[in-house]
Structure 1
Amino acid sequence: MSLLTPNPGLIFWMLVVFLMVVFILAKYAWKPIIKGLKDRENEIQGALDLAERTKAEMLQLKSDNEKLVAEANAIRDKILRDAKDASDRMVIEAKDKAAAEGQKMIDGARETIRNEQHAAIAKMRKEVATLSLEIAEKVLSRELKDKESQEQLIADLASSARMN
């Protein structure tokens, strides 16, 4: 018998066994397998539907979160603007107060300088008057012999007064 030519008896029995296997599979195995495949298909479709709903919910949540973030940013910006405005007002008020106090100090210093200047002028006048009296006293107390000695005395007193 050759391998390339089939035997008709073998073909018959192979066909009979094949049909019995197909019948047994159709009776007992294919219905549960098909039912399992349909159940699995339904589960997969349900999971896909759930994934679609979840995706839609996630998009909604994302847009809600973006709105909340935008609102929070707007509130933050407003708070920062208000704080900057308040700090600017405080700086301006502090500058104005410092300028006013500085002007008070300058005015007080000017007044003190004027008072000391008047006191110094009064003291100099008093000293000039005292010095003039001393010179006059010395001139009068000395013997006035001649005009030349008087001029000499006045010149000496004047030169000694300039050095002090």
Structure 2
Amino acid sequence: MEKLLEEFSLGLFVWQTLLFVGLLLLLKKYAWGPILSAVNEREEGIKNALSAADNAKKEMENLQADNQKLLKEARAEREAMLKEARELKNKMIDDAKVEAKDQANKLVAQAQAAIETEKKAAIADLKAQVADLSISIAEKVLGEELSNKGKQEKLVESMLDDTSLN
């Protein structure tokens, strides 16, 4: 260190200082300005990219939330449609059952009415046949009974005995 102090030259020091300051001014004007502006531009670009990424992330979250909401609404709508379809199916089945029961009741009532009509007609026919048969038998019996005078009197007396005076 002593050697440095002994060989120290003030002129050389001034020249070196001037050259160093000049070099610093040249570097500042031509190198540091563009380097710093490039660094600043890069920094701004990175900030913009980060903010764009944040915005994209927020937008993606919003879209996912909207998608979830739409899916939930679609599911709810599907469930409502299925429920409505089930209710409509059950109503149609119930209506068909009621209509079938009504038709069956009408058919049974018509069948019973037809049976009753046929029964009455058969009974009337049977009565007519019985009456005809009775008349025919009565004619034969009376014809035979009335052919003999003694039998006629006996028949009249038994009939009179059977009837009572009111």
TM over 0.5: yes
Say which of 42, 46, 57 aligns to 1:63.
Answer: 57
TM value normalised by structure 1: 0.58
Say which of 115, 122, 129 aligns to 1:128.
Answer: 122
Name stretches of at least 5 consecutive residues in structure 2 with no aligned partner: 1-21, 141-166
Say which of 88, 96, 99 aligns to 2:93.
Answer: 99
TM value normalised by structure 2: 0.57
What CA distance in whole angstroms lies between the structure 1 residues aligned with 2:30 and 2:93? Answer: 91
Report which structure shows greater RCO (CA 8 Å, sep ≥6).
1
Query: Which residue is equivalent to 1:16?
Result: none
Deviations for 1:56-98, whole angstroms, at most 9, x for unmatched residues?
A: 1111112112211211111111111111111122112112221
What CA distance in whole angstroms lies between the structure 2 residues aligned with 1:34 and 1:71? Answer: 52
What CA distance in whole angstroms lies between the structure 1 residues aligned with 2:41 and 2:77? Answer: 52
One-letter code aligned to 2:117: K
Query: Which residue is equivalent to 1:150?
Result: none
Q: Offset of 1:127 from its aligned partner?
A: 2.6
Deviations for 1:110-149, whole angstroms, at most 9, x for unmatched residues?
A: 110110010110121123234335555666788x99xxxx
One-letter code aligned to 1:112: K
How many residue pairs match? The answer is 116
What CA distance in whole angstroms lies between the structure 1 residues aligned with 2:91 and 2:30? Answer: 88
Query: Which residue is equivalent to 1:88?
Result: 82
Q: RMSD of the TM alignment (CA)?
A: 3.0
Structure 1 segments (4+ residues) deviating >4 Å? 133-142
Q: Offset of 1:45 from its aligned partner?
A: 1.8
Give the % identical residues. Answer: 11
Greater Rg, structure 1 or structure 2?
2
Query: Which residue is equivalent to 1:114?
Result: 108
Name stretches of at least 5 consecutive residues in structure 1 with no aligned partner: 1-26, 146-164
